Chains A and B, each alone.
Chain A
């Protein structure tokens, strides 16, 4: 492996906002600090401003007056993308239809006027790294989606960029391929140690790939943190609901716990004034006859998902609870069921 990226880059955004020509404000003033070598994921629903942020870092858009983009402390706000030396992978890959795979991968090197021999060597190295050597002379329309993705990555990395920017690179692929490529990209990024900013709306990608995740909504940052922090300590109901599934129960805090329609939840810590508690499906256990339990409910629906069974349990609240159970669970619709909730998983927001 001869690929040695240049010294990892740290990136800062200071008060970067973005308003489009027709007046829509897509990004509120944003301060961002990306550490050298880390993989940062920008996560959120469509229209939250994550792609705009990426494009500001890339140099494809300019921040509104007063915003600054810094690479290793150097102000690059006025620099256009051609000069920033970042590698970018677009959602639609943007591979050049008039060139072969090898020519695509080598395009950036051609621009930099590298000697022909070195260009060839670098291209070969990139193709080998992405395991697409056999595709070198193919044209773009002869490639499958997964192959195009690899070519796009190879092309972006060939120029030894200071940072790698990925705009929803896996969205266009089908589920099975996405799973496989997610792992591959993860290994690749760890091996390269290059500063990476990854934009996605898929939380599984975010959790798998990100050292840190920034959850965005309506042009603002909702929460910044590691995958575990985001998952277990969501800062708001939005974040809690965006990541994974969240159960909610309404009730009232009492002396011995949180009383709700179906029973009593054991609450650790200082009493909360909240009228609603949230918890993840995996923090709920199905108890057998005779065992202690917190809630009593009825099975409303049961879905066999292959590796597990997902139950929807009616507990007298507006929404049924989602409970993950063993694959070979035999509970049927209408049967009574007893649940216990781990107090460590309870959240009040």
Chain B
């Protein structure tokens, strides 16, 4: 037993160290955004001045990021949910092929995708300089996550038999889709949605190449701030980013927690209404 305890303690210590590695910089960063003077340290006092400065200067980029994330969500829902359904009901080989293709935008570096888009559509002035250009990149990047999330849920239920059941009761395709398919992938849609919004708000690799001075997003503004302004402002900006994204991440984690399954036994004598259930 002693040996087991030692192993446990060692593993726990290791895990705690890793947690510290991940969390401490975040804490430092938050503090830096609230400190009057980073180079002096905490002795210089705490202030919200930097946060307000960031808000004043970058409010529109923050709103733009949120806007793009929302638009990205809507588009991935409209494109992704039907795709996931098609994949769930398709023959194995075809579904595999389409899944492979869908993963490509994630496999390709953001730089490559952005360059490709610029090379193809860069000449279309109006499109190039609008936030829609960035939106397209975001959708390409986040669509596979939405599809995968919904597909995972749909694959876990026997979709074919459920649809046959509904069909045997007279439901046509449209009714089946809205009455049976959509309600049963609600969790997948929710998880996928959180993922899409989170990824869109944090996307940088593509956006840095796709943006123009008039279509900056939050991460882009962040890079600007670090490059040209005080560390405290960059940190305050990061703080705002954390405030926006951490609730989303926590929500995702809560969703991912598995719910306990209950087994209800049949009691042939007391059926059909057993008083107690296990």
Contacts and interface: CB of A to CB of B under 8 A. Distances in A.
A108 B167 CA distance: 9
B253 interface: no
A125 to B, nearest CB: 16
A145 B263 CA distance: 10
A97 B170 contact: no
A87 B168 contact: yes
B12 to A, nearest CB: 36
B169 A108 contact: yes
Contact of B170 (A92, A108, A134, A143): A108
Given A96-B180, A97-B184, A111-B175, A146 B168 contact: no
B268 A159 contact: no
B264 A143 contact: yes
Interface string B241-278: 00000000000000000000110111110011110010
Interface in A86-109: 86-88, 90, 92, 94-98, 107-108
B164 A94 contact: yes
B158 interface: yes
B93 to A, nearest CB: 12
Interface stretch (A7-15, A77-85, A283-291): A77-85
A163 to B, nearest CB: 11
Contact of A107 (B166, B172, B274): B166
A135 B272 contact: yes
A77 B158 CA distance: 26
A19 to B, nearest CB: 17
B157 interface: yes
B120 interface: no
A15 B148 CA distance: 44
A87 B262 CA distance: 30
Given A82-B167, A108-B169, A144-B266, A130 B184 contact: no
Contacts of B264: 142-144
Nearest to A107: B169
Given A131-B272, A135-B272, A159 B170 contact: yes
B268 A156 contact: no
Contact of B271 (A81, A111, A147): A147
B157 to A, nearest CB: 7
B168 A130 contact: no
B171 interface: yes
A57 B97 CA distance: 34
Nearest to A60: B164
Task: List the 4 closest A-B pairs by CB distance, nearest first.
Answer: A94-B165, A108-B169, A98-B183, A88-B168
Interface of A: 58, 60, 80-83, 85-88, 90, 92, 94-98, 107-108, 111-112, 130-132, 134-135, 141-147, 150, 155-156, 159, 173-174, 176-177, 179-180
7 contacts: A60-B164, A95-B165, A108-B169, A134-B272, A134-B273, A144-B266, A173-B266
